[in-house]
Amino acid sequence: MRFRSDPARIRGSLAPVITPFTDDGALDQQSLARLVTWQLEQGSHGISIGGSTGEPSAQTIAERAEAIRLVARTVADRVPFVPGTGSAKLDETLELTAAARDAGADAVLIITPYYARPTQEALYRWYVAVAREFPDLPVIAYNVPSRTAVDLAPETVARLFTDLDNFVGIKETTKDFEHFSRVLHRCGPELLVWSGIELLCLPLLALGGAGYISATANLAPAACAAMYRAWTEGDLAEARRIHYGLHPLVDLLFTETNPAPAKLVLQQRGLIASAHVRPPLIEPTEPARVKIAELLAEGAEFLSPAGPAEGGS
């Protein structure tokens, strides 16, 4: 939690790791610890768990809290740890956020409440309730309208940033790039903005973004970190080379619903023991597996090495 008092240091490529399960659907603690260790070895600038890639809606609050505590112990304060602690219910969000605070999280990622389609005023009050319950914990909104059916408007983001000392940033997962610009225009560069859209990670940096929380880091953590480093060092040609080189892996991730394709590849490479996803998701179908193999070969240059375990589990 050494970054909690200075959230402006939470920058770069924050890997939103998948939640590995055993074949019978239980949390696979050994695989999760191995994944996080691998992410750190590959140079990820931070770790997240419990966002959309982590299948949070298919888990109980107790299961999510267990995973958060395990990741916090594995990260051991080496890089920022920013778990997703949001839910569609306020009491669950507060319970899980408290667990993350106690585990040593540096900040928390709070998704807009899904399914209910709250108004902007309701969203404002939601984030106020969470932020005021944890005044010493940096709060980051997670705006992902494709999954939640509600968009956190730039005006509402600006209102929260003005009214709450510990509302520090937002993960924007919208393909409306004007939205990114309007949020930063209203709030200024002090608001930390991360991209959750894989192909907008590099463009956001040009607007003043803090980095990205991209599912691509599950397969190519070193390349994702290198793209950010190239940008900060002014090597724009290298940053663009990586951006375009990652396209096949981005397409792979969404061959079918994320994170099923990523889990399959991680299992094939020996980084997790099982590709199991919980219902309502299913493991990739045979046509998808064929496409995944093609895209994997196309993007092979940018895959991070799996280490001694590569080639099987």
Q: For each successive 10 residues of the chain (313 residues), what is the average pLDDT?
A: 95 98 97 98 98 95 98 98 97 98 98 96 98 98 95 98 98 95 96 98 97 98 98 98 98 98 97 97 98 98 75 34
Strand partners, 13: 212
DSSP label of 223: H
d(CA 26, CA 30): 12
Strand positions, DSSP E, the chain: 12-17, 46-49, 108-111, 139-143, 167-172, 192-195, 211-212
Kindly report whether the peptide bond that precedes residue 280 is cis, defined as omega within 30 degrees of 0.
yes
Q: Quick one: 119 exposed, middle or buried, by C-beta within 10 A (0-12, 13-18, 19+)? A: exposed
Which tokens sit at 43?
A: 């140079």
d(CA 250, CA 142): 20
pLDDT of 300: 97
Chain-centroid distance of CA 94 in Å reads 20
**Residue 123 and residue 132 in contact, taking contact as beta carbons nearer than 8 Å:** no
Enzyme catalytic residues: 142, 171
pLDDT of 307: 65
